[in-house]
């Protein structure tokens, strides 16, 4: 089967590329650390290096999403304001001036009040709508900056960002809590300290009132680093879910969790403790489905 186009998810620190056929099947895949922060001034060269490794012919179109379309990216793709149909991100894609092939970058989404933006996750949302047709749902996309998006059919009604992953890193590495987390190993799943911390904060959302207890527990009770790290993770993920439940309280929609691996296990445990109904979707499959939908929107470029 011959390649029809290339799909690219270009984030801040990493880039993922897929060579795809006309039915959206993956023919080849590449991943690297050539993210937006590293690629400054070299976007075209990095893209062509990866496509050359694929053996992709000149003229093969490329559809990209993520931070490649940020103000600091290759070309800025202006945000589309919500509420909006997800089709709008396809029709407002920005074409890059590139002499070897058509390159289109999908825009992110913006929200005026409360102020918020996303880049990359909108393509995952489009993929979810394309493959699962979830109807009315709350999509939860965990990460450094976790996103919760309210879906109504093919429309994004609104969304919220939570700095869960970034807060974990900052508190672990730069706060007083670092003394209790030295040499903590990465979590392999939802341990009892994680579940206990998550259950506590789901009662009232009092994050600040509980954080210092991690340090105090190490001093007074000898809590080990792994359990302290698990407790921090449980507090932060529980606080995120508590806040999202408050923010979208009127929606009464089931949660669609877009995650994999350990992160999926942690969020599943936390959602269960919160008493929320949820189903699961794979993040990689979602972004590829969204980029395939974008490619179909511009079929004239590759048919």
> 18-22, 213-217, 250-254: which has the minimum mean pLDDT?
250-254
Q: Where are the beta strands (DSSP E) in the chain?
A: 5-10, 15-20, 26-32, 62-66, 80-81, 84-85, 94-95, 103-105, 109-111, 116-118, 136-141, 146-152, 155-162, 255-258, 278-281
Of 3, 61, 64, 58, nearest to 39 by C-alpha is 64
All residues at 6 or more sequence positions from 17 whose CB lies less than 8 Å from its CB, including other chains: 6, 7, 8, 9, 29, 30, 31, 50, 51, 54
Predicted pLDDT of residue 253: 87
Predicted pLDDT of residue 87: 87
Residue 303 pLDDT level (bands cut at 50, 70, 90)? confident
Q: Write out pLDDT tens, residues 238-272.
A: 999 999 999 998 777 899 999 989 999 999 999 99
Residue 171 pLDDT level (bands cut at 50, 70, 90)? very high
Q: Kindly give the interhelix angle for 164-174 and 225-247, rounded to the nearest 10 degrees.
A: 150
Q: Write out pLDDT tens, residues 264-301.
A: 999 999 999 999 999 999 999 999 999 999 999 999 98
Q: Write out pLDDT tens, residues 46-68.
A: 999 999 999 999 999 999 999 99
| CB 225, CB 193: distance < 8 Å | no
CA atoms of 138 and 16, how far apart (whole Å): 26
Question: Position of tokens 């007074």?
Answer: 220
Q: What is the mean pLDDT of the chain?
A: 95
Residue 231 pLDDT level (bands cut at 50, 70, 90)? very high
CA atoms of 274 and 144, how far apart (whole Å): 21
């Amino acid at each position: 089967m011959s390649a029809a186009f290339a799909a690219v998810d270009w984030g801040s620190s990493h880039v993922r590329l897929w060579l795809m056929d006309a039915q959206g099947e993956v023919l080849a895949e590449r991943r690297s650390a050539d993210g937006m922060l590293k690629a400054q001034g070299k976007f075209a060269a990095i893209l062509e290096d990866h496509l050359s490794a694929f053996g992709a012919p000149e003229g093969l179109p490329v559809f990209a999403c993520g931070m490649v379309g940020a103000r600091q990216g290759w070309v800025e793709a202006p945000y589309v304001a919500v509420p909006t149909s997800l089709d709008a991100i396809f029709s407002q894609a920005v074409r890059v001036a590139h002499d070897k092939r058509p390159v289109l970058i999908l825009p992110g989404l913006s929200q005026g009040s409360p102020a918020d933006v996303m880049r990359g996750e909108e393509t995952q949302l489009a993929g979810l709508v394309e493959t699962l047709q979830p109807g009315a749902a709350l999509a939860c996309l965990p990460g450094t900056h976790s996103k919760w998006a309210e879906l109504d059919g093919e429309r994004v009604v609104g969304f919220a960002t939570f700095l869960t992953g970034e807060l974990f890193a900052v508190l672990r590495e730069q706060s007083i809590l670092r003394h209790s987390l030295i040499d903590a190993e990465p979590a392999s799943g939802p341990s009892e300290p994680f579940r206990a911390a998550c259950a506590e904060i789901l009662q009232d959302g009092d994050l600040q009132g509980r954080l210092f207890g991690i340090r105090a527990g190490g001093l007074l009770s000898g809590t080990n680093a792994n359990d302290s790290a698990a407790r921090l993770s449980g507090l932060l993920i529980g606080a995120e879910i508590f806040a999202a439940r408050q923010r979208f309280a009127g929606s009464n929609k089931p949660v669609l969790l877009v995650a994999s691996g350990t992160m999926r296990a942690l969020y599943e445990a936390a959602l269960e403790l919160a008493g929320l109904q949820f189903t699961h979707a794979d993040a990689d499959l979602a972004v590829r489905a969204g980029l395939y939908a974008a490619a179909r929107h511009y079929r004239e470029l590759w048919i």
